[in-house]
Amino acid sequence: MAGVEVLLQHIAELRARLQRLERGAVPPVTEQTITVVQGGGGGSGGGAPGADGAPGADGQRGPPGLDGADSPDDWPIVVGTQPPLSIDSLLDVDTVTDPPVNNDVIKWSGSKWVPAPYNYDFAFSIATFVCSESGTKLIGAGTWKAIGAITFSASYNNPPAGLTALVDMAGGASDWADLVLSGTPPNGPTVTIAVTVYPATATGSITFTLRQSQDGTTSVVTISFSNTMRYGTSALGIGAQTEATIEALTEVAGPNESRSQSINNIPASGNYVVFAYATRLSDVAQIRMNSGFGDVTASFAAVATTLAPTMQDVANITNSAGFLETFACCTSRLAGLANGSNDFTLLTSATAQNYLLWGELNKASGYTEADVEGNYATQPGKVASNSISSRSMIVNCGASEYAYIAYPARLGALTSIIIGGFESLSDFNVDNTALAVTNDAGYQEDYRVYVSKNPGFTNPTTMTVTI
């Protein structure tokens, strides 16, 4: 037993030295030899065993003495040579993860002794709570995620020993609670042990709450749900859509129920373009189409001059996740608008937008819709906009050709046309203030048309036009 006592004494001396080192009371140890001793053995040869573990008569050491006591001739065994000691030799000390700086002290963090400023407070808190699911999901019916399909992890600042953490779920058609987060500290990852069901309403949400045993604070992750818009083409016209034709449309990824969004590259079809969304949402104010010259108002009403789309309700529309509700849909007045490259934008703004047109034609007056739409210049001569303010327009007039400018009458009269640095508005006639023009998306409105009084503008000619 004396050997054990000696070892314990060495350990106590080492701890005392470390404490003095922390206070700067002694120089560091460069090397320390630790020995462990055991009792002598009786003789293994001809002599009788030593009464107190002494060598036998043949001089050889044998088993311990018969009385089990240590011999005065204890045999020292060198266990090893201890390298220079560091405070990190103690298992409950860590100065490596966050190395100390001048004037730091050693403080208890809740799990280890670590360096820190003397007045630093090792307060516990939840650092992160992470769920494998995030964002907004498509609403469905029944089970959203099966057992084991959702994973949770967490991290903490200064977690104490014995910390426990649980996860609860609320907001679904049925909830669950008390999922134990695994690990020490309880970091996870841990998977669900119960199914997670969808919320009961289209715009519901599910909340996962992490709660812990230290101070009762919590952290939450919320998953939102919604239905989504649909788009595509149908052989049926305005007001004639059915449950089948609406369910055959493409669902917008996301999901996305925004009243202002763009739908790009609908596959080419000779049928009508259709958009549909839940009736609980407000209706869009207009739909615009971009065929390469900018967004212009498209006609989704029976009358070409009507800006707002004609809406039709269709009941019992089931989405790809099994959720059922009534949808509202709108259908283009013209067939064939989808060509694989035209883009469509749904808007809540009720201000129409149309083409500005300019070009040249061997005609001094009496311009028609075909004239202004079919003879525009190539730089570009056609652009969708509601702005005419110092807008540059280039024409290439031949000797007998007149320059013209046409735009929606609702924008007002021109106040200036600058050519070659000179005001030239008086060199143009107002040919029409209410020329009905239907754009390539089917929407119609009145245009104002200006035509130069004289042909043969210098080729090319730049006009700077302002309303």
What is the band of 335 on the pLDDT scale with cuts at 50, 70, 90?
Answer: very high
Per-residue confidence (pLDDT) for residue 148, from 0 to 100? 97
What is the band of 287 on the pLDDT scale with cuts at 50, 70, 90?
Answer: very high
Any idea how long the chain is?
Answer: 467
Per-residue confidence (pLDDT) for residue 406, from 0 to 100? 98
Per-residue confidence (pLDDT) for residue 30, from 0 to 100? 52
Per-residue confidence (pLDDT) for residue 86, from 0 to 100? 79
Question: What mean pLDDT is predicted for residues 213-240?
Answer: 97
Question: What mean pLDDT is predicted for residues 234-252?
Answer: 98
- Report angle CA 217, 177, 220 to the nearest 5 degrees: 40
Residue 462 pLDDT > 80? yes
- Report angle CA 461, 464, 467 to the nearest 5 degrees: 140
Question: What mean pLDDT is predicted for residues 392-416?
Answer: 96
Per-residue confidence (pLDDT) for residue 16, from 0 to 100? 74
- The domain segmentation of the chain, as residue ranges, is 2-85, 125-226, 230-347, 355-466
Per-residue confidence (pLDDT) for residue 104, from 0 to 100? 86
Secondary structure class of 5 (helix, strand, coil): helix
On the 0-12 / 13-18 / 19+ scale of CB atoms within 10 A, 439 is buried
- Residues 196 and 204: their CA atoms lie apart, in Å, by 14
Buried/exposed 99-128: b ≥16 CB within 10 Å, e otherwise = eeeeebeebebbbbbbbbeeeeeeebebee
Question: What mean pLDDT is predicted for residues 399-414?
Answer: 96
Q: Tell me the longest C-alpha to C-alpha distance in the chain.
A: 142
Per-residue confidence (pLDDT) for residue 45, from 0 to 100? 41
Residue 258 pLDDT > 60? yes
What is the band of 50 on the pLDDT scale with cuts at 50, 70, 90?
Answer: very low
Per-residue confidence (pLDDT) for residue 292, from 0 to 100? 93
Question: What mean pLDDT is predicted for residues 57-83?
Answer: 50
pLDDT in tens, 298-325: 999 999 999 999 999 999 999 999 999 9
Per-residue confidence (pLDDT) for residue 2, from 0 to 100? 57
Per-residue confidence (pLDDT) for residue 65, from 0 to 100? 43
Query: Are 343 and 450 in contact, with CB atoms under 8 Å apart?
Result: no
pLDDT in tens, 103-117: 888 888 877 888 988
Per-residue confidence (pLDDT) for residue 46, from 0 to 100? 42
Question: What mean pLDDT is predicted for residues 363-384?
Answer: 94
Cα dist. 299→177, 314, 387 in Å? Answer: 53, 21, 21
Per-residue confidence (pLDDT) for residue 49, from 0 to 100? 45
- Reference 263, options 225, 300, 306, 301; nearest CA is 300
Fold held by 125-226 = Immunoglobulin-like (2.60.40)
**Residue with the larger pLDDT of the pair 454 and 173:** 454
What is the band of 75 on the pLDDT scale with cuts at 50, 70, 90?
Answer: very low
Give the count of beta carbons closer than 10 Å to the beta carbon of residue 270.
Answer: 11
Residue 1 pLDDT > 60? no
- Residues 409 and 386: their CA atoms lie apart, in Å, by 11
What is the band of 173 on the pLDDT scale with cuts at 50, 70, 90?
Answer: confident
Percent of the chain with pLDDT over 70: 84
What is the band of 120 on the pLDDT scale with cuts at 50, 70, 90?
Answer: confident
What integer best gives the mean pLDDT of the chain?
Answer: 87
- Reference 74, options 52, 43, 57; nearest CA is 52
Structure tokens at 352: 């129409």
Per-residue confidence (pLDDT) for residue 440, from 0 to 100? 97
Give the count of beta carbons closer than 10 Å to the beta carbon of residue 311.
Answer: 18
Per-residue confidence (pLDDT) for residue 20, from 0 to 100? 67
- Report angle CA 211, 213, 218 to the nearest 5 degrees: 25
Structure tokens at 108: 């208890």
pLDDT in tens, 246-256: 999 999 998 99
pLDDT in tens, 17-41: 667 656 655 555 455 555 544 444 4
- Residues 464 and 459: their CA atoms lie apart, in Å, by 15
What is the band of 97 on the pLDDT scale with cuts at 50, 70, 90?
Answer: confident
User: 30: Cβ–Cβ under 8 A, 6 or more apart, which residues?
Assistant: 84
